[in-house]
């Protein structure tokens, strides 16, 4: 079992739909990152959070430390949101806190 | 403020050759991380460096791979005697001196071994 699990692996939706991507982790973490990887391959950091909730535009990320679970939500989805979304757990301790452990990614396709 | 820069963006090597991948961190960043993304697989941590020091190389294959981050100049990931299984996208990321903030990713180097 991977230390970081994402679901679903693939998600196809219609423009305008509310999107939820889930991430569960089995290790202690100091922070959780959500990343976006576009078809061209570049990686953009969306959020880094260690508690509660963060919002940026139509994107919302939440984390429940007790349940070891995080979600990424996209409101009013648009075809340009089509990408692979990756969650990554940052460990604890001097070395662990520097290392990201990645989920397998969720491939999101938004159809017009 | 320029972002993380990687070059080359694409690199083709024949089996047995050496591959050198370069990463220039964001200005003011002194921590560099290298990650590998094999085809159809997720990202995997390789190595974490600070200036002139390797802090954690637990994700790096024991043979043929090495990394450095000299006092001056970019970080270098070096792969000797490449094999087809080394074909992958190699990303570096950098973070500021606190070391626990956001990591900013470069565009990646796509290595193809023929």
- pLDDT at A18 exceeding the cut of 60: yes
Other CB atoms closer than 10 Å to residue A69's CB: what's the count?
15
In this structure, what token pair is assigned to residue B68?
A: 């450095």
- pLDDT at A64 exceeding the cut of 90: yes
Q: Is B86 helix (H, G, I), strand (E, B) or coil?
A: helix
Tell how far CA A42 is from the center of its chain: 15
For an interface test with A, which of B30, B39, B45 has the most A Cβ atoms less than 10 Å from its Cβ?
Answer: B45
Q: What is the rounded CA–CA span in Å between residue B35 and residue B14?
A: 22
Q: What is the rounded CA–CA span in Å between residue B2 and residue B28?
A: 11
Q: What does the pLDDT average to over A86-103?
A: 79
By CB atoms closer than 10 A (0-12, 13-18, 19+), residue B52 is exposed
For A59, list phi and psi in degrees, rounded to 5: -100, 135
pLDDT digits (tens, 9 = 90+) for B46-75: 999 998 899 999 999 999 999 999 999 999
**Interface residue B18 vs chain A (CB under 8 A):** no
For B96, list phi and psi in degrees, rounded to 5: -70, 175
């Amino acid at each position: 079992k991977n230390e970081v699990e994402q679901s679903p692996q693939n998600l196809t939706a219609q423009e305008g739909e509310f999107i939820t991507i889930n991430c569960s982790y089995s290790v202690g973490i100091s922070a959780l990152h959500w990343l976006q990887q576009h078809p061209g391959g570049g990686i953009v950091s969306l959020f880094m959070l260690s508690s509660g909730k963060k919002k940026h535009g139509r994107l919302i990320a939440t984390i429940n430390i007790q349940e070891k679970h995080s979600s990424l939500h996209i409101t009013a989805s648009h075809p340009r949101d089509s990408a692979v979304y990756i969650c990554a757990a940052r460990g604890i301790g001097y070395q662990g806190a520097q290392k990201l452990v990645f989920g397998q990614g969720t491939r999101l396709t938004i159809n017009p | 403020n320029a972002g993380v820069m990687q070059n080359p963006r694409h690199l083709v090597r024949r089996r047995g050759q050496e591959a050198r991948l370069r990463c220039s961190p964001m200005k003011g960043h002194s921590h560099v991380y290298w990650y590998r993304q094999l085809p159809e697989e997720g990202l995997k941590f390789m190595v974490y460096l600070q200036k002139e020091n390797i802090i954690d190389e637990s994700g790096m294959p024991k043979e043929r791979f090495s990394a450095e981050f000299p006092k001056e100049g970019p970080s270098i990931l070096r792969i000797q005697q490449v094999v087809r299984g080394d074909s992958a996208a190699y990303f570096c990321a950098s973070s500021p001196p606190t070391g626990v903030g956001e990591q900013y990713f470069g565009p990646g180097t796509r290595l193809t071994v023929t």
